């Protein structure tokens, strides 16, 4: 009987190792998505779109991206002209909005770096339990980029459109911050699926 139990346990361990090894691809996908989210910080997180530009074809008048915002927040100087058009007109006419965005940007940025780090560790060591932390981190990436998107659009309530755009109906404030937010949402779903499958494999191991 003891010999049978040992064989059963050895088989369970082998099956667990095989199942967790299969789950490693989800960690690789999560790493890829987080890196994609990092590069997507180059898209315009806030911009003024003017439908009268380019002979009525429309175009971007002024803009700032996620890294403009991040570097300004790190330096604490939102008036620096090096950070795209963040200083003027956005910080000049919507100071409170820009400072709020400066606080928000830290959360997804560091969540991306940590998520990449723990998934690389999990990939190397075949540690699937860290998917739980990846769920949390992807939730932060998704939630805070979404918050940035909402706050950026809410700058329409600032003085940018009334003063900088002189209430020109052709002008509107837009944001592409929803795009990195979507990568966070996809990563959240993948990490959740990874964790569920890991728990199922662990349950079979302990059965």
How far apart, in whole angstroms, are the C-alpha atoms of residue 146 and residue 108? 10
How far apart, in whole angstroms, are the C-alpha atoms of residue 21 and residue 33? 20
Q: Which residues pair with 65 in a beta bridge?
A: 44
Domains of the chain: which residue ranges?
Answer: 20-206
- Per the CB < 8 A criterion, the answer to whether 143 and 180 are in contact is no
For the chain, the average pLDDT equals: 91
Summarised one tens digit per residue, pLDDT across range 116-134 is: 999 999 999 888 888 999 9
- Per the CB < 8 A criterion, the answer to whether 44 and 133 are in contact is no
Q: Is the pLDDT of residue 6 over 90?
A: no
Average pLDDT over residues 51-60: 80
- Per the CB < 8 A criterion, the answer to whether 160 and 89 are in contact is yes
Q: Is the pLDDT of residue 4 over 80?
A: no
In the prediction, which pLDDT does 68 show?
96
How far apart, in whole angstroms, are the C-alpha atoms of residue 180 and residue 41? 7
Summarised one tens digit per residue, pLDDT across range 64-102 is: 999 999 999 999 999 998 888 999 999 999 999 999 999
């Amino acid at each position: 009987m003891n010999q049978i139990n040992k064989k059963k346990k050895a088989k369970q361990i082998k099956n667990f190792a095989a199942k967790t090894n299969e789950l490693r691809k989800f960690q690789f996908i999560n790493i890829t998505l987080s890196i994609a989210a990092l590069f997507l910080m180059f898209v315009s997180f806030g911009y003024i779109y003017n439908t009268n530009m380019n002979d009525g074809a429309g175009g971007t008048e002024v803009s700032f991206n996620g890294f403009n915002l991040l570097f300004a927040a790190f330096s604490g100087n939102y008036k620096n002209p090096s950070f795209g058009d963040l200083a003027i007109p956005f910080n000049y006419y919507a100071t409170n909005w820009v400072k709020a965005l400066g606080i928000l940007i830290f959360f997804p940025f560091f969540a991306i770096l940590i998520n990449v780090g723990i998934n690389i560790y999990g990939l190397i060591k075949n540690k699937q339990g860290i998917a739980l932390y990846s769920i949390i981190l992807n939730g932060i990436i998704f939630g805070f980029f979404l918050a940035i998107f909402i706050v950026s659009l809410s700058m329409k309530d600032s003085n940018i459109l009334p003063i900088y755009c002189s209430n020109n109906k052709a002008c509107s404030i837009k944001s592409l911050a929803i795009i990195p937010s979507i990568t966070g949402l996809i990563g959240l779903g993948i990490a959740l699926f990874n964790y569920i499958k890991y728990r199922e494999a662990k349950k079979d191991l302990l059965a």
